[in-house]
Structure 1
Amino acid sequence: MESPYNLLTDNELLALLNKGDENAFSVIYERYWPLLLRHAKRMLSDDEDVRDVLQEVFSKLWNQAFDLEINTTLASYLYALTRNRILNVIAHQKVRTNHIDSLSSFMENEQVATDYLVRERQLSLLIEKEIALLPEKMRVIFDLSRNKHLSYKEIAQKLSISENTVKKQINNALKILRLKLGLVAFITFLLLK
């Protein structure tokens, strides 16, 4: 039996989504996932990247449901969001490729230590940039953990939140950074801390 939500327009679904209605989100997801999947597959060759992009798009839609103000159609908004995420993936792939090529060249030519320091600084800047792009609450918690070396308990007390929230936010930050930085840069980041 078809859900009555399936008969609603995008605008009606958005109004319900703004109230946190999970059924409205589910219908939007089912309505647009296949379309966005085809769109993303035309621009990205890696199926895992495609799935990650769509997961980010729908996560953002749900996480911003209460504050979401769309000045266009839902379809246009989702396509634009997907396109922007895809462009981010492509840009990060290019950065990773350039970095890997640069590392290969460095290893082949056995350049002096100053080259290593320059590359390390570039990687640090890339890592700092990605950390700065984390959601504010997540970034604050991550900074207190990684840079101020506070324990989960100390962070929880300082921010008046639960230790579980702290742990979840740090784990989410690490997942995001691993996704954005790629495996080599992420392992380097962990080793530098």
Structure 2
Amino acid sequence: MGQEKEFKRLFRDYYPQLYAFAYGMVRDEEACRDIIGDAFEMLWGHLGDIKDGNERGFLYRVIRNKCIDRIRSSVSRQRYEVFYKTFYGEDD
């Protein structure tokens, strides 16, 4: 099967499961779409390097890591906002 057909099949078959997985972690629809898009972009770049049958695991690992990064970033941003408001008493 050609790479493009294989990629389309993977996207069609796994997107709903991957979306549910990502949403369970970040609870943000737009973030989920971005994360899944990034994961499939990474998959496309490595499609020839991944053993057949390991694409699903690759996608889940990338999405998990990107969700964790998103959560960490959100927590850091919230801490900064609290710090800023505490010391400067302003929103911006």
Q: What's the TM-score once normalised by structure 1's chain length?
A: 0.42
Aligned match of 1:30 in 4, 12, 33?
Answer: 12
Deviations 1:24-64 (A, max 9, x none): 11111111111100111111111111111111111111133
Q: Give the structure with higher Rg (CA).
A: 1
Which position in structure 2 is the counterpart of 1:82?
A: 63
**What amino acid sits opposite 2:37 in the alignment?**
Q
Structure 1 runs of 4+ with >6 Å offset? none
Q: Work out which structure has the larger RCO, using CA pairs closer than 8 Å and 6 or more positions apart in sequence.
A: 2
Whether 1:40 and 2:40 are equivalent positions in the alignment is no
Matched residue type, 2:44:
W
Alignment gaps of 5+ in structure 2: none
Runs (5+) with no aligned partner, structure 1: 6-15, 110-183, 185-193
Kindly, what percent of the aligned residue pairs are identical? 23
Distance (whole Å) between structure 2 residues aligned to residue 52 and residue 72 of structure 1: 24
Compute the RMSD of aligned alpha carbons.
Answer: 2.4
Which of 40, 53, 58 pairs up with 2:40? 58
Amino acid at match of 1:108: G
Provide the rounded CA distance (Å) in 1 between the counterparts of 2:84 and 2:34. Answer: 27
TM-score normalised by length of structure 2: 0.82
SS at match of 2:47: coil
**Maintained 8 Å contact 1:36/1:54:** yes
Aligned residues: 91
2:72 pairs with one of 88, 91, 94: 91
